[in-house]
Chain A
Amino acid sequence: QVQLQQWGAGLLKASETLSLTCAVYGGSFSGYYWSWIRQPPGKGLEWIGEINHSGSTNYNPSLKSRVTISGDTSKKQLSLKLTSVTAADTAVYYCARHCSDENCYAFWGQGTTVSVSS
């Protein structure tokens, strides 16, 4: 069974860079799309961006200037960097593997809570 294990700093100060990693166990990294999604406290889900099996990325236009998503096939890891964070970036961050047809998220990480203080 595919499992996604996430980790990264949970407490940041405004203007710092958020950095998270997601490792894939029990399944392939190559051949799939991967995404990062976040959920502010008490709110809904927001797509941050994705990377495909060729290494091409797409980002939410509202975050594009601050986001970098990368993948390491040899380590089976996905990474997220978000620069110049503010309190508005406080959220639970999830990594997710797309479905085979790419149009849904079949597997999710456990989530990482990131809090940004001013």
Chain B
Amino acid sequence: EIVLTQSPATLSLSPGERATLSCRASQSVISYLAWYQQKPGQAPRLLIYDASNRASGIPARFSGSGSGTDFTLTITSLEPDDFAVYYCHQRSNWPTFGQGTRLEIK
């Protein structure tokens, strides 16, 4: 099993600030890494796939980078709608998810 470790667990920022979320894999997942956003009571929404590709309809302020074992989701200039929980996910091996990063309003 490939373990995905996300950091930080909670990130407190203000609207307009930049958010940097990290996901580290216990072994290489090449670039088969996706990011999802989940709001309370809703299903997750795909943001980024294959480490750096934005999904359809996702604003340009969301970007992903990394390869191998270290990946980053960056949200430039946070908007009020961006405060949510973010999960990374790999399917290089059998699928696993990170434990999530909660992005909260400071």
Contacts and interface: CB of A to CB of B under 8 A. Distances in A.
User: Do A and B assemble together?
Assistant: yes
Contacts, number: 53
Contacts of B95: 35, 47, 50
Interface string A41-61: 000111100100000001011
A40 to B, nearest CB: 12
A104 B31 CA distance: 12
Given A94-B43, A99-B49, A105-B44, A47 B94 contact: yes
B18 interface: no
A45 B97 contact: yes
A109 B43 contact: yes
- The residue among B34, B91, B95 with the most chain A CB atoms within 10 A of its own CB is B95
A118 interface: no
B20 interface: no
A103 B44 contact: no
B96 to A, nearest CB: 7
